[in-house]
């Protein structure tokens, strides 16, 4: 709940205190067991990191069974003037199950030209890409050096090498 509601890790101490009070009122014989629960900020942090690793592993496993996929990309600048690229994946398995997930969020250091976005994208994707949706920004759809143009060129070169 702490991570889900974007609360600080040290809220675990408050949650534990509430649980202990409720346990003493509702089932005093089990109250001692609740006192042994570790909810300090370091424990919360470790558990959240463990969960996030598990989520990444699950996404990795899901992408292995996808036959074809398309991507939706959005690049925007955050309040610290750093460009952030969001990559969403939508894939179809051989059983026609549709999967939609946030594939990644990458910071773009320096320039945000089509070639920069392409390099980040190629690090995140494999050979079964079947489509790309963008927000229409020049760095995404530019005729000469936009991401879509560069990706088409890259995929055509790759196709001829096979």
Residues 110, 154 within the same domain? yes
Place of tokens 């955050």: 78
2 domain residue, yes or no: no
pTM of the model: 0.52
Residues 145, 71 within the same domain? yes
Residues 156, 102 within the same domain? yes
- What is the predicted pLDDT for the residue at 137? 83
For 73-119, the pLDDT digits (tens) are 888 888 888 888 888 888 898 889 998 888 878 888 888 888 888 88
């Amino acid at each position: 709940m702490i991570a889900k509601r974007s609360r600080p890790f040290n809220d675990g101490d408050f949650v534990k205190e509430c649980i202990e009070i409720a346990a003493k009122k509702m089932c005093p014989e089990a109250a001692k067991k609740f006192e042994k629960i570790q909810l300090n900020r370091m424990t919360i942090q470790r558990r959240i990191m463990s969960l996030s690793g598990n989520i990444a592993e699950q996404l990795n496993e899901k992408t292995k069974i996808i036959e074809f996929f398309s991507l939706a990309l959005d690049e925007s600048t955050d309040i610290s003037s750093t460009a952030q690229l969001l990559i969403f994946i939508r894939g179809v398995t051989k059983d026609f199950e549709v999967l939609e997930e946030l594939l990644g969020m990458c910071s773009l250091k320096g320039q945000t030209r089509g070639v920069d976005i392409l390099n980040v994208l190629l690090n995140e994707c494999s050979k079964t890409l079947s489509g790309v949706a963008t927000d229409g920004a020049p760095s995404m759809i530019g005729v000469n050096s936009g991401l879509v143009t560069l990706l088409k060129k890259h995929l055509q070169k790759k196709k001829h090498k096979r």
